[in-house]
Amino acid sequence: MLDAEDGITEQDKKIAGMAHDEGKGIVVAVNKWDLIEKDTGTMERFRKDLKNELAFMTYAPSVFISVLQRQRLDKVMELSKLVAEKRAMRVPTSQLNSLIIDATMMKQPPSDKGKRLKIYYVTQVGVKPPLFSFQVNSRQLMHFSYSRYLENKIREGFGFEGTSIKFVFREKGDKE
Ligand SMILES: Nc1nc2c(ncn2[C@@H]2O[C@H](COP(=O)(O)OP(=O)(O)O)[C@@H](O)[C@H]2O)c(=O)[nH]1
Ligand SMILES: [Mg+2]
């Protein structure tokens, strides 16, 4: 919960970062919205600031509330329940693999010195937060930007609102 008058503070970012690293479910509630002088663009501008300042958790839904005036408190509960559901969600392996195949066809995986990343198989191996295991030819070839691309594809395909999702990359012969 942030204070709308204070804006997004360093302390807010620190706490948000810890929650993200721990894989917690996240709903951003901007409180004291009643104190803010508003025009038509005020909420969208604040949302944009959230996107910039909390760039590592653009997956988190946000809601503008007033605890004092009891505005949209039901929405906080509704979003919290939604996020709890998404964070516990398991996706079917076949759908997951066809989504990843499509993604690799749309954007070629990175290569280095003539060797290209191959993704053989993906399974979801955990929930809360969702954890995906990728069987690959070489995890060195999996660059951050490409794994971010795949994360976005998984989010587009399945949702996962309000939760970080984690990846592990396994090569043939790795221990379980
Ligand atoms: N106008 C307004 N005041 C609020 C709201 N929620 C809490 N407050 C007031 O904020 C004061 C507490 O300060 P707050 O910033 O919430 O806590 P602190 O930062 O931990 O000191 C109390 O006087 C509350 O009545 C709200 O939604 N609107
Ligand atoms: Mg305060």
Say whether pLDDT at 175 is over 90: no
For atom 19 of ligand 1, the residue with the nearest CA is 3
Architecture of the domain whose range is 93-171: 2-Layer Sandwich (3.30)
Q: Which CATH number fits domain 2-87: 3.40.30.10, 3.40.50.10310, 3.40.50.2000, 3.40.50.300?
A: 3.40.50.300
Q: From the CA of 6, give the closest atom in ligand 1.
A: 15
- Global pTM? 0.89
Give CA separation, 148 vs 32, 103, 167, in Å. 34, 12, 10
Sequence-ordered strand ranges (E) for 56-163 = 62-64, 111-112, 115-116, 119-126, 131-136
Q: Kindly give the distance from the C-alpha atom of residue 95 to the centroid of ligand 2, in angstroms, as a whole number.
A: 45
For atom 14 of ligand 1, the residue with the nearest CA is 3
Sheet architecture: strand order including 131-136? 119-126, 131-136, 166-171
Block residue for tokens 């309000």 = 162
| Over residues 86-91, mean pLDDT | 98
SS3 96: helix
Closest CA to 82 of 166, 162, 174, 175: 162
Give the residues surrounding ligand 1 with Cβ less than 6 Å away: 3, 31-32, 34-35, 66-68
Summarised one tens digit per residue, pLDDT across range 28-57 is 999 999 999 999 999 999 999 999 999 999
| Over residues 18-25, mean pLDDT | 96
Domain boundaries, the chain: 2-87, 93-171
Contact 110, 117 (CB under 8 A): yes
Closest CA to 164 of 15, 7, 12, 25: 25
Q: Write the DSSP assignment of 5-70 as a string of letters.
A: TT-S-HHHHHHHHHHHHTT-B--EEEE-GGGS---TTHHHHHHHHHHHHTGGGTTS-EEE-BTTTT
Contact 30, 64 (CB under 8 A): yes
Closest CA to 4 of 56, 62, 60: 62
Q: From the CA of 66, give the closest atom in ligand 1.
A: 27
Say whether pLDDT at 61 is over 90: yes
Summarised one tens digit per residue, pLDDT across range 98-152 is 999 999 999 999 999 999 999 999 999 999 999 999 999 999 999 999 999 999 9
